[in-house]
Structure 1
Amino acid sequence: MSFGPPPSIYTQSSVTAAAARDKRRRTWLLVLLALVLVAALGTGGLLLWSGDDDGRATRQAAAQSRLDVRETVETQPASTVGKRAFRFSVDDMSPGEHYEMPGMWATDKIFAKGINKTVVGLAVGTDASPGDEKWKIPLDGPICGYTRHVTVEHRTAVLYRSGTEEDALCDHVAFFDLDDGRRVWSHDFPVHGVGATPEKPRTGSLQDTPSVTLTHDTVAVTWGGGTIAYGMDRGTKRWSTKVAGTCHDDGAAGGGALLVRQECWSGDKDLPVDNWDFRSYKVRAVDPDTGRSLWTYSAAKGIRDLDIPSTDPPLLAVSAGDTGITELLSLGDRGENRATIRLQNGTYTGECSYEDYLVLDDCPTIAVGAGQVFLRSKEMTDKADKTISNWVIGFDLATGNSTKKFDAGPNSLLYPVRMSGGRLLALRESDDRITPTGLVSLDPETGEETPYFYFNLPAEAENFTLTDFNDVLVQNGRLFFGAKSVTGPAKDQPQWVYLALGIESGAEKNP
């Protein structure tokens, strides 16, 4: 079997993976304590929407070059009856088997997924299992970073470790083609100690977590001590920056622009170890052609985390407490604060990726477009009839005021997925096991909801809608779900497991 013993290019022990994560977290706490002590001492293709779409968004998509990050606009299908378009599963997982599956991408013909130390590409329209790959890209070590972005000509990037050991350094980047699985180029890059530690680490557990993202003709890698940009065609180094002092580059967000997050450290001998006042964040906009900083935004002290759901327009998601994202900050063209959108103690919810992979712009239920940001509300239960429901709401990026509200209705939940031109694509999940789940389009101008297609998930895949554990992607008329990781059964019997599932309209496609 391709996933089980003897070891294959996919395989990684669940015990090994968990031990590595625990060790990194313990090391982080030790380094954090050391830093406080030091401080105290004074130290693509384009698909046109069939209705009256936002013309500006359509023209922007049509004007994209092959080296841009794709911004596709989906077509409303002729039939709202959904059918299975793709399945990827394994039927013989054993107890103790564990696979990290970072990164998921799709084109009109290929579904691709990262699996431990390889990237696999499978043909859409198939019922696939390990061994059915159209192509495989073997890497020297496990994938340790990825970007959700894909270029117009269907290329993307991952980071990977320099060896198979659990503590191997994450110090390589590969840029590859999703259509044919060709590795366009790969490079190694520098590493940096955790936090403000200047020494070069010898193991991955002591390393600052690197990140990779894409913007126009640029593959940008942050490695702690700075940022390196490579040209897409040949992988030529275009520019690099280094930071000094107590700040370090701590992730980048791409797409329509390039924003780099910096984490900065300061200290006071009276601060306890768990006081977040000694840590702060900055975000700088970077010219992808030259590496020159265009503007810098300094976030308030005490913020525990900062993600970047959108770079163009710039939108920051900040966590000021223990309850996840607390505010969204809309910035202007020069980094000035345009508006603050408060999530009202959890009334509105936005998720960003909080895995071992540093992907600042992977915020699966925060959608930005048409001058607005769209969020879902928390789930509400009607005390009278025990039905569950929520809504999706838009906020104006210029004022922070709420705009259109889309109610899910009883026994249904709405989740933003992504913008498609001037409309919002959302997942309508049924909670009564009778009404089908659906992919719908929400119009921010009219408040109209248009069905895309409806479908039922098999029992084995019902948890695929949970974005904490799965990737959700809409591309080329299909809705894909994919596991971020998978673990074998607890009982001593092999198990059949879904790894990914694709849904499309049942309408006949034109030849």
Structure 2
Amino acid sequence: MSFGPPPSMYTQSALAAETDEKNRRRKWLLGVLVVVLVAALGTGGWLLWGGGGAGSTTSGKPLATGQGPLDVRETVEKKPASATGKMAFRFSVDDLSPGEEYRMPGMWATDKILAKGINKTVIGLRIGTDAVPGDEKWKLPLGGPICGYTRHVTNDNRTAVLYRANDRGGAYCNHVAFFDLDDGREVWSTDFPYSRFGDAKGLATGGEDQDTPSVTLVHGTVVVTWGGGTDAYSMKTGERIWETTSTGSCQDMGAAGGGALLVRQQCWHDGAALGSTDATTYKARKVDPKTGKVLWTYSAAKGIRDLNIPSAEPPVLAVQAGEIGISEMLSLNADGKTRAVIRLQNGTYVGECSFDDFLTTDDCPTIAVGDDQVFLRSKDSGELINSNWVIGFDLATGHTTKKFDSGPGSLLYPVRMSGDKLLAVRVTDQHVMPSGLVSLDPKAATETPYLYFDLPDEADLMTMTDYNDIVVQDGRIFFGVKKVDGPAKGRPKWVYLVLGIESMAVKQST
């Protein structure tokens, strides 16, 4: 196995044994692109589609107005010179053995690097390569497995992960590392407190009983919640600049960053009937990222089963009132009061937030907030031919605004805002039509194609947001798995880990 024996990844012995084989397999993508495309035209693999164009693409370099290097990145993507897509990057393995399993939390991209968390290591791979384990431009080894991450990245291409104290079973998740995505350099790392599961504060008696910590970024600050409180660290120095303590029966369980800081609190009520939904309630608190001062607190109604925060600025909450899925979106005003309630009408509209073991309160991959609207997708309609639509809701009134139909045979999924435009992925059925990255303009109600492409058959499931990361950055779209499993039995397994698409107009560097 290329990854080496779990839980440690990329052991020297494994890499040394495979160096010669990797050298034979390593190829520059451009050199094999023509061969791949010729085969694809007959087999339904990689296809080119859409109108041609000359010149090089313009990538997502522009920043939101007033942003600096320590702000969370809000880049604005521009329409490529050509909407014809080509493979920009591939990361795969071909020797997964039966029973092997690797967690791959976190994926981030810059203009030159695709970074991926894998077990107890973060790796950086140069975009423009057909990569396998061993092709890393850099590796950041951690003291233990990654146990928390944030999708946020600063304008100077830095982000943070949490990791366990060591790689033994039950080790505490109590370390945070802030690192540079371009070169893999650890800017700083430190440990933070931990608390036991439940409504009592104090040290955990074992790793399985530990409250799940979380990490997020806001201007100049890395923020960690750990159950018993919240700690904030300077991005520049790693110095702890403030801390808060959970009070009473409420604990800090997750935080949303970006343009502001909202801390999610979970509260327990001993007097409630056993199994009652009233036993647990939720709050969202706006906190000054410079001082830790609580600016306001929003208390969710009793009976709410879960609360996520798709956007901290403007503040938008996603709440679950029933047994399954998000039932309502709530927009709040500058004082933390309810501004509008958007009901998802028993699943007519769909909002999805991360539900894995990592506490990423603001990771809601198909909910996009911007231009004073929240954008959701509808449920799939049609039996033989799928279709859906993306629809906007006004944050001031809760009323619907613009609706974008996918058309028959395809599905639209919101990805993120790009200025005042919404970027969405169009996924088509059976490779009959190309899939694509499109820009939706809420003001003009128009759709502009950015990239047309077709994923290989083996990568069809990588468009599923529940099990994969989808990142759009610098004119490219990346699909990356969150976990990889070996085959149940039989021969070693070959599998894609990350695929990247860019415009055909991009010139390859030499």
TM-superposed CA distance for 1:275, in Å, is 1.2
How far apart, in 2, do the equivalents of 1:316 and 1:8 lie? 38
Q: Is the 8 A contact 2:95 2:492 kept in 1?
A: yes
The one-character-per-residue Cα deviations of 1:193-238 (angstroms, maximum 9, x if unpaired) are: 1121323113211000000000000000001111000000110111
2:463 corresponds in structure 1 to 465
How far apart, in 1, do the equivalents of 2:233 and 2:143 lie? 20
Aligned-CA RMSD value = 1.6
The one-character-per-residue Cα deviations of 1:51-85 (angstroms, maximum 9, x if unpaired) are: xxxxxxx7x71421110001000010011110000
Structure 1 moving runs of 4+ over 6 Å = 47-50
Q: Is the 8 A contact 2:83 2:450 kept in 1?
A: yes
How far apart, in 2, do the equivalents of 1:7 and 1:380 lie? 42
The one-character-per-residue Cα deviations of 1:163-196 (angstroms, maximum 9, x if unpaired) are: 1112100000000000000000000000001121
Counterparts of 1:362-381 in structure 2, within 5 Å, are 362-381=363-382
Change in CA separation of 1:148 and 1:281 when aligned onto 2, cut-off 3 Å: same
Residue aligned with 2:278, SS: helix
TM-superposed CA distance for 1:325, in Å, is 0.2
Q: Is the 8 A contact 1:67 1:232 kept in 2?
A: yes
1:42 corresponds in structure 2 to none
TM-superposed CA distance for 1:10, in Å, is 5.4
Identity in percent: 66
Residue aligned with 2:64, SS: helix
2:9 corresponds in structure 1 to 9
**Structure 2: 5+ residue stretches without partners:** 12-57
1:317 corresponds in structure 2 to 318
How far apart, in 1, do the equivalents of 2:348 and 2:98 lie? 40
How far apart, in 2, do the equivalents of 1:235 and 1:396 lie? 39
1:123 corresponds in structure 2 to 126
The one-character-per-residue Cα deviations of 1:255-280 (angstroms, maximum 9, x if unpaired) are: 000000111111326x13x2110110
Output the amino acid matched with 1:413. Answer: L
1:236 corresponds in structure 2 to 239
How far apart, in 1, do the equivalents of 2:121 and 2:206 lie? 21
Output the amino acid matched with 1:106. Answer: A
Output the amino acid matched with 2:150. Answer: T
Using the size of structure 1 for normalisation, the TM-score is 0.88
Does residue 255 (structure 1) correspond to residue 258 (structure 2)? The answer is yes
TM-superposed CA distance for 1:388, in Å, is 1.4
Does residue 421 (structure 1) correspond to residue 415 (structure 2)? The answer is no
Residue aligned with 1:389, SS: coil
TM-superposed CA distance for 1:5, in Å, is 3.7
Change in CA separation of 1:442 and 1:176 when aligned onto 2, cut-off 3 Å: same
Does residue 393 (structure 1) correspond to residue 391 (structure 2)? The answer is yes
Output the amino acid matched with 2:313. Answer: D
Output the amino acid matched with 1:127. Answer: D
2:341 corresponds in structure 1 to 340
How far apart, in 2, do the equivalents of 1:467 and 1:145 lie? 18
Counterpart selection for 2:75 from 72, 96, 103: 72
The one-character-per-residue Cα deviations of 1:341-381 (angstroms, maximum 9, x if unpaired) are: 00000000011001100000000000001110000000001
How far apart, in 2, do the equivalents of 1:7 and 1:255 lie? 32
Residue aligned with 2:346, SS: helix
Q: Is the 8 A contact 2:174 2:192 kept in 1?
A: yes
How far apart, in 1, do the equivalents of 2:211 and 2:5 lie? 32
Change in CA separation of 1:254 and 1:433 when aligned onto 2, cut-off 3 Å: same
**Structure 1: 5+ residue stretches without partners:** 12-46, 51-57
2:293 corresponds in structure 1 to 292
How far apart, in 2, do the equivalents of 1:390 and 1:461 lie? 22
TM-superposed CA distance for 1:108, in Å, is 0.1
Output the amino acid matched with 2:341. Answer: T
Q: Is the 8 A contact 2:417 2:423 kept in 1?
A: yes
How far apart, in 1, do the equivalents of 2:6 and 2:254 lie? 36
TM-superposed CA distance for 1:4, in Å, is 3.6
Does residue 207 (structure 1) correspond to residue 205 (structure 2)? The answer is no
1:221 corresponds in structure 2 to 224
TM-superposed CA distance for 1:6, in Å, is 8.1
How far apart, in 2, do the equivalents of 1:372 and 1:48 lie? 25
